[in-house]
Amino acid sequence: MATGAFGEAKHMFAETVIASILTYILMLSAFYLHRIRTFHVPVMVFIVLFDLLMPVYLYSTRDWKTRLIDDGDLFSFAVWMHFGLLITLFVLYAIQILAGRKLLLGDQSGRAEHKNVAKGILAVRALVILTGALLAQPQQG
């Protein structure tokens, strides 16, 4: 039963997209406030954990068999592009964590790598959010 233009079904659709956009804004703030390590490091750890746990949340709350197998979305280019972007994002996170650990240990040789990978993460994460929003479907129920 819908309540206005944004009913319960659309609420389920919007929650993950809005949460992802809000965390992206938080990530941008941590990127620009990188000199405040007491803010930057915990925020980035939170964002990485959020991104690692989002697929677990989606898997546990969505009917993937119907979506991917019955509806045939498994062979969709958009689904595979989103999956490839997620893998790319997780690889960039691993590289970023290694470079960030060097910085926290006082080794400044990883500073340029850390900054450049951060820019890549911002771009790839924006694409992950965009493709995820395009693939998201309102939940029926």
pLDDT per residue as tens digits for the range 47-62: 999 999 998 888 888 7
Tokens 């993950």 locate to: 16
Instruction: Spell out the residues 6+ positions from residue 11 whose beta carbon is closer than 8 angstroms to its own.
Output: none
Q: Where are the alpha helices (DSSP H) in the chain?
A: 8-32, 37-61, 64, 77-104, 111-135
- Which DSSP state fits 138? P
Average pLDDT over residues 85-106: 94
Dist. CA 96–CA 89, nearest whole Å:
10
Whole-number CA gyration radius for the chain: 17
Average pLDDT over residues 63-74: 69
pLDDT at 55: 87
| 8 Å CB contact between 51 and 93 | yes
End-to-end CA distance of the chain: 8
